[in-house]
């Protein structure tokens, strides 16, 4: 399968009405095909079965380069899998090249979901993520929190997992003065999810930083702490 084959398969499900609605909703000037997420899920699931690691990376790269909304989602879904054997280095490298292109939450979140799997495969990659936290590109800074969300969810974290939690909370603390809506939302998302599994750390973060957060973000972060 080539990227052109994959794009043709996606385009076969185009819906002009849905495409117009998507463009109006996302407000980013790119091509939208109007293909529903469940269809993309089915297509990419089959492609993952048929393609080896090298093939997945090649098709994902080609789809991403089209800058078509559904193609970029499909590129991300191709690489969203717990294991890529024998080696996921090329997949991880490709995902990191996408980050400067992020310009909308839906594409960024899909790509970060792929990145989460690769980061869980090799947590030492967290050092590379830390470099994103000082980027001038807002979506790159936001991605540092979204891609590390799995570390909010462990019920039985290892010491190394706790170190990553504290490290990311430190990044979030540096973000607090940035009142950009998407940054505040990302802080709230991380702390809210953490509060379900590590209440003391979530409470400590909010005790120290909620006053500096936008009110909506502080409220959302504390959603499960006030119940």
Judge whether 43 lies within some domain. Answer: yes
Give the number of domains in the chain: 2
- Please give the angle made by the CA atoms of 68, 72 and 76, to the nearest 5 degrees: 170
pLDDT of amino acid 150: 98
Kindly state whether residues 97 and 54 are assigned to the same domain: yes
Task: Give residue 91's pLDDT band: very low, low, confident or very high (50, 70, 90).
Answer: very high
pLDDT of amino acid 165: 98
How does DSSP assign 71-122, residue by residue?
A: HHHHHHHHT-SS--SS--HHHHHHHHHHGGG--SHHHHHHHHHHHHHHHHH-
Judge whether 196 lies within some domain. Answer: yes
pLDDT tens, residue by residue, 13-68: 999 999 999 999 999 999 999 999 999 999 999 999 999 999 999 999 999 999 99
In this structure, how many other beta carbons lie within 10 angstroms of the beta carbon of residue 45? 12
In angstroms, rounded to a whole number, what is the distance separating the alpha carbons of residues 88 and 148? 18
pLDDT tens, residue by residue, 94-143: 999 999 999 999 999 999 999 999 999 999 999 999 999 999 999 999 99
Task: Give residue 227's pLDDT band: very low, low, confident or very high (50, 70, 90).
Answer: low
In terms of residue numbers, what domain contains 185?
122-227
Kindly state whether residues 78 and 158 are assigned to the same domain: no
Instruction: Answer yes or no: is pLDDT of 213 > 90.
Output: yes
- Mean pLDDT of all residues in 138-164: 97
Judge whether 112 lies within some domain. Answer: no
**Residue that terminates a domain, selected from 102, 137, 160:** 102
Mean pLDDT value across the chain:
97
pLDDT of amino acid 109: 98
Q: Is the peptide bond before 18 cis (omega within 30 degrees of 0)?
A: no
Q: What share of the chain is helix, strand, coil (3-state, %, to 5)?
A: 70, 0, 30
Strand, coil or helix: what is 216?
Answer: helix
Judge whether 111 lies within some domain. Answer: no
Judge whether 39 lies within some domain. Answer: yes
Kindly state whether residues 72 and 136 are assigned to the same domain: no
Please name which of 66, 80, 4, 82 lies closest in space to residue 30, comparing C-alpha atoms: 66
Task: Give residue 226's pLDDT band: very low, low, confident or very high (50, 70, 90).
Answer: confident
In angstroms, rounded to a whole number, what is the distance separating the alpha carbons of residues 147 and 116? 5
Judge whether 2 lies within some domain. Answer: yes
How far separated are the first and last CA of the chain, in Å rounded? 51
Token pair for 64 = 């991403």
- Mean pLDDT of all residues in 79-98: 95
Judge whether 158 lies within some domain. Answer: yes
| CATH code: domain of residue 192 | 1.25.10.90
């Amino acid at each position: 399968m080539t990227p052109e084959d994959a794009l043709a398969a996606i385009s076969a499900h185009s819906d002009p009405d849905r495409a117009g609605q998507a463009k109006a909703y996302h407000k980013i000037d790119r091509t939208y095909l109007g293909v529903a997420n469940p269809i993309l899920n089915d297509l990419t699931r089959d492609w993952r079965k048929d393609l080896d690691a090298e093939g997945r990376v090649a098709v994902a790269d080609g789809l991403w380069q089209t800058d078509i909304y559904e193609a970029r989602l499909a590129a991300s879904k191709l690489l969203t899998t717990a294991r890529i054997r024998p080696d996921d280095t090329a997949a991880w490298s490709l995902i990191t090249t996408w980050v400067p292109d992020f310009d909308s939450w839906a594409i960024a979140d899909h790509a970060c979901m792929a990145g989460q799997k690769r980061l869980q495969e090799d947590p030492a990659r967290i050092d590379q993520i830390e470099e994103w936290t000082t980027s001038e590109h807002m979506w790159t800074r936001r991605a540092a929190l979204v891609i590390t969300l799995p570390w909010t969810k462990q019920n039985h974290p290892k010491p190394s997992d706790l170190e990553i939690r504290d490290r990311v909370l430190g990044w979030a603390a540096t973000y607090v003065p940035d009142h950009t809506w998407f940054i505040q939302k990302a802080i709230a998302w991380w702390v809210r999810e953490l509060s379900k599994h590590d209440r003391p750390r979530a409470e400590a973060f909010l005790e120290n930083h909620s006053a500096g957060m936008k009110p909506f973000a502080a409220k959302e972060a504390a959603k499960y702490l006030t119940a």
